Amino acid sequence: MVSLDDLLIPSTRVGDMLFDVDTVHRMLVNFLQRVEEEENEDCGYDSDQDLASPNHGCLLKVGRLIDAYLAEIAPDPYLSLHKFVAMIEILPDYARVIDDGLYRAVDIYFKAHPKLTEEECKRVCHLIDCEKLSQEASNHAAKNDRLPVHMTVRVLYFEQLRLKNSISVNVGDGFMSQRMSSGVGSAAMSPRDNYASLRRENRELKLEISRMRVRLSELEKEQSFMKEGMMSKSGNGTTFLTSLSKGIGRIGIFSSTPGEAKRRKAARRSRGSGKKCIQTQSAID
């Protein structure tokens, strides 16, 4: 079995790449041709069984090995974009179950070659299947400033689809478990019964919404009545204060002590006797 160190062949040319990428590319081309010839000679596999063939297992191992090789040669400042892309495109799509290794190699290449144009970066990122990225790789790609905006949008889009699918699956599992616990199996229901059940649930939802609307209107009416009551009380504030002052005056009159009452009576008597004296004097005159 070929290892990664076996592929890291130093380049013999002066001023050229650090590693001999052309030799590895030729080796890979010969390997893929031999795999294709073996598949053409073997007629025992159908089209649906190709992915389960021994050759496919070898391709998966080669795919992981090439991704690791790309990550090792990516920091080479003399590695041209053409040869880097050629090493990626040589493998078929089914040779990679997950593209985390390829994404890592591309990220290293972008970091080592900051002078790449936007179009060149898009060309490389187009080779990455965002659906094959793991959760960790997707999170890293969404925050990676070295990637073009187009790649970031693709990653976020597929991440949103993945989240939506996971939520729908969880909701579906909960719905199925609820139906099975109630004794009604989904497999035993006919499409007609299922449609009737959905219509019944729809009617129940509409009825609940109508009840909520009625309750909301009642609350609004109660709120308006409370506002009117507060406004009427604030408008009659003067009358209320006047009646309050009169009441306080009455309370002061009735709450006087016995001594004060006697003094008031004596004062009234003296005023009455004074009036009588004046009347008598006027009569004598």
pLDDT bracket for residue 214 (50, 70, 90)? confident
Express each pLDDT in 92-124 by its tens digit. 988 999 999 999 999 999 999 999 999 999 999
8 A C-beta contact, residue 83 and residue 117: no
What integer pLDDT is reported at residue 68 of this predicted model?
96
What integer pLDDT is reported at residue 98 of this predicted model?
94
* Least confident residue range of 19-28, 40-49, 76-85: 40-49
What integer pLDDT is reported at residue 185 of this predicted model?
46
Beta bridge partners of 19: 10
What integer pLDDT is reported at residue 47 of this predicted model?
47
Express each pLDDT in 51-95 by its tens digit. 455 677 888 999 999 999 999 999 999 999 999 999 999 999 889
Mean pLDDT computed over 206-213: 71
Mean pLDDT computed over 111-138: 94
Mean pLDDT computed over 254-268: 57
Mean pLDDT computed over 201-215: 71
* Least confident residue range of 1-5, 18-22, 31-35, 59-63: 1-5
What integer pLDDT is reported at residue 186 of this predicted model?
45
Predicted confidence (pLDDT) at residue 24 exceeds the cutoff of 90: yes
Of 52, 27, 55, 51, the residue nearest 39 (C-alpha): 55
Predicted confidence (pLDDT) at residue 232 exceeds the cutoff of 70: yes
Give the pair of three-digit tokens for residue 85. 């892309």
- Mean residue pLDDT of the chain comes to 77
Residue at token pair 């380049």: 11
8 A C-beta contact, residue 156 and residue 141: no
Express each pLDDT in 163-189 by its tens digit. 877 776 655 555 555 555 555 444 455
pLDDT bracket for residue 12 (50, 70, 90)? confident
Higher-pLDDT residue of 81 and 217 is 81
Q: What is the residue-wise DSSP string for 77-144?
A: TT--HHHHHHHHHTS-GGG-S--HHHHHHHHHHHHH-TT--HHHHHHHHTTS-GGG--HHHHHHHHT-
Handedness of CA 260, 262, 263, 265 (dihedral sign): positive
Q: What is the CA radius of gyration of the chain?
A: 47
